[in-house]
Chains A and B, each alone.
Chain A
Amino acid sequence: MISLAGRDILHAWGKFAFTGLGLGLLIGVTLTMAGVYRGMVDDGKALLDNSGADLWVVQKDTLGPYAESSSVNDDVYRTILAMPGIARAANVTYLTMQVRGHDNDVRSMVVGIAPGKAGTTPGWPPYLVAGRQITRGHYEAVADIATGFKLGDRIAIRRNHYTVVGLTRRMVSASGDPMVFIPLKDAQEAQFLKDNDAIWQSRRRTEASPALNRPGVPGLLDAVIASQSTNPFVNAVLVTLKPGYEAEEVAASIRRWKRLTVYTRAQMEAILIGKLIATSARQIGMFLAILAVVSAAIVAFIIYTLTMDKIREIAVLKLIGTRNRTIAAMIMQQALALGIIGFVVGKISATFAAPLFPKYVLLMPVDSVASFGAVLLICVLASVVAIRIALGVDPAEAIGG
C-alpha cells in the first residue's frame, strides 16, 4: 500500500511548506516563551549560586533581600561569625538603579561587597572573564559583561565615579539585570547619599533643635550630625557554613539568638521562584495557553480546508472500497506531518532567536520534548473535525445524480 498522505503532501508541498512555516514560527514563539521562563528561573538560581552563600540573614519577618527590602545593622555579621558552624559571614547590599557609562545608562543591580577575596568571601563574583577583582576600598567596580561596560570605563553611581577593573559574566539579579560590584562602604553611601542641598537642610534643622544643640553639652551636635550622615545598614548578611554543619540547624540558632530571619538555599530558591517570578510565570503560562489554542485553530483550519478540497476524491476512494480507517489515517498523518514540519521550523527559529533576546532565554531539551508531544496531540485533536467530515462523505456522491 502506498502512503496516500505522503503523496498528497508531495503533490501540494507548497501549501504544506508555507503552513508548516507559519505554524513553525508560532511554535518558535512558544518555545521561546518557555525559554524566557526557564531563563528567569535560571537567573534566580545563578543569583543564589554565584552569591556563594549557604544562609541569608535578613531583617526580621521580611522576604529579603531580593523579593522584599531588608535592612540589617552592619555589625550583626560579627556576632554571627562567633556562632558555631559559621565559616564566614559578610555584609552585602543590593541596589537596583541606572548606572551611567560615558554615553549611556544601563539598568543594573549594584552590589556592595565586603572586604575580602573572591572564592571565600560570600557575595563576590566567583570568576572574571577579564581584568581583576576589586583591590582598593573605594571607587573600583567589577561589571557583568551584559552591562556593555569595558575595562577601564569610568561609570557613575550616584555622585561618585568608579573605574571598571574587572568583567564577570552570568551575574544577574532575579529580574535579569546585570550586576555591578563595588566596595561595601561606597555602596552603603550610595544607598544613603543625599544631594548637598538636602544635607545642608537637615544639618540646619538639627542645629535649630534645642534638644540636640545644647549649649551645656559640647560635642553633642557634632556627634548627632555625624551619626545622621552615615549609613550603618546593609541589606543582608551572607553566611557560609563549616563542613559538617546542617544549614537548617545553624539557621535555627541564628533565628533564636539574633532575632533575625534566616533563609537556607532551598528556602531562598522557593522565595525567588514561588514569589518573585510567580506572576511572570503565570503571565507566560497564559501566553502559552493562547499560543496552543491559536496553533490548534490553525492546524484544524488548514486540515479542514485540505479535506474539503478532497471531498470528491474521498467519495471516489470510498466507492472503490477504501476503508474508513485508511481515509482517517490519511488525514491524521497530514496533520501530524504539519505538526512535525512546524516543530522543526519552530525549534530552529527558537534556537537562533534565543541569543538575540535582551534577557537570558534558556531552551531546555525537556521543554522541547514536551512541546513536541503537545504539538502532536494538538494536531491529532485538530484533525478530528476533518476526519468526521471525511467519514460522513457518502460514496454515492461519486456516482452523482
Chain B
Amino acid sequence: MSGKGICIDGLKKRYGAGDTAVDALKHVDMRVGPGEVVGLIGPSGSGKSTLLKCLGAVIDPSAGRMVLGDEVIYDNGWKVRDLRALRRDKIGFVFQAPYLIPFLDVTDNVALLPMLAGVSNGESRAKALELLSALDVQHRARAMPSQLSGGEQQRVSIARGLVNRPPVILADEPTAPLDSERALAVIRILNEMARKFQTAIIVVTHDEKIIPTFKRIYHIRDGVTQEESGEGRGFG
C-alpha cells in the first residue's frame, strides 16, 4: 500500500516571531515503516502535539522534510497543493477523546470519510462495516455515539481513522480515557491493523502501561527526538 511509511528529517517548527518566538520543534528525525507502530513519548511541552499537527498538515512546519509513502509532502515548504485532500486520503487521526459526530450513527461516522472522498454511500457503508467488524463493534453499527461505551467509541474512532486505508495514522493519547485492559486492547488492535493494512502508526502517549508494548519508541525533549529501541519489547 505504501512504500516507505513515514520519513521525517530535520523538521523544525517555530511558533511566533521575534522575542516571543517558541522553538517547539528544533530537530526531529523519525522513521516509521509500513506496518509498524511506534511510540512517541516526552514530557509536557516537549512538542508532541506540534509534531502531530505538522505531520497532520494542520499547521505549517518552519523547515525540514516529510515523506509519506513515496510522496514528498514537505520539503522546506508544502509540496502538495490540497492539504485537505492529503488529510482525507493519506492520514488517519485518532484522538484522546473519540470526537465522533454526535448526529451520525456509528456506521455513518466511519462511512463519512470515504463519502467525502466521493465514494458512493453504499460502498462507503460497506467499507465502514468491514472495519467495524474488524474492530469488533459491528453489532453497534446502527447505534448513535452517545449510546456507546468509552471503549466502543474509541474503537469506532479507530475505524474512522483507518477506513480510507491511509498509509499513516496519527494517534494522540488514544488510550488515555481507558482502563489498562481496554488500553492494551486498543494497542493490540492498532498493531493488527498496521500489519493488515501496512499502515505506519505513530502513537503519542504518557501511558506507562502501554509503553512496553512498542517495539520502537521515540523520545522527544525540548523539540529534539531521540530513538530508543527496546529489547524484549513487542506485542504478541
Contact = CB atoms under 8 A, between A and B. Distances in A.
B74 interface: no
A399 B89 contact: no
Interface stretch (B32-40, B113-121, B212-220): B113-121
A319 B116 contact: no
A81 to B, nearest CB: 78
Interface string B41-82: 000000001001100101100000000000000000000000
Contacts of A321: 84-85, 87-89, 113, 116-117
Interface in B172-203: 172
Contacts, number: 74
A317 B56 contact: no
A318 B84 CA distance: 8
B103 A12 contact: yes
Given A399-B95, A400-B96, A2 B108 contact: yes
Given A2-B112, A321-B84, A400 B103 contact: no
Interface residues of A, number: 26
Given A2-B112, A398-B99, A320 B93 contact: yes
A399 B104 contact: no
Interface in A1-25: 1-2, 4, 7-8, 10-12
A194 B88 CA distance: 92
A1 B99 CA distance: 20
B83 to A, nearest CB: 9
B115 A398 contact: no
A312 interface: yes
A322 B93 contact: no
Nearest to B45: A401
A398 B116 contact: no
Contact of A401 (B49, B87, B108): B49
A7 B109 CA distance: 11
Contacts of B93: 319-320, 398-399
18 contacts: A1-B121, A7-B103, A7-B104, A10-B103, A12-B103, A316-B101, A317-B101, A319-B58, A319-B93, A320-B113, A321-B89, A395-B87, A396-B53, A398-B95, A398-B99, A399-B49, A399-B58, A399-B172
Interface of A: 1-2, 4, 7-8, 10-12, 312-313, 316-323, 326, 394-396, 398-401
Interface of B: 49, 52-53, 56, 58-59, 84-85, 87-89, 93, 95-96, 99, 101-104, 108, 112-113, 115-117, 121, 144, 160, 172
Given A7-B103, A398-B95, 10 more contacts: A1-B115, A11-B144, A320-B93, A321-B85, A321-B117, A323-B84, A399-B53, A399-B172, A400-B49, A400-B172
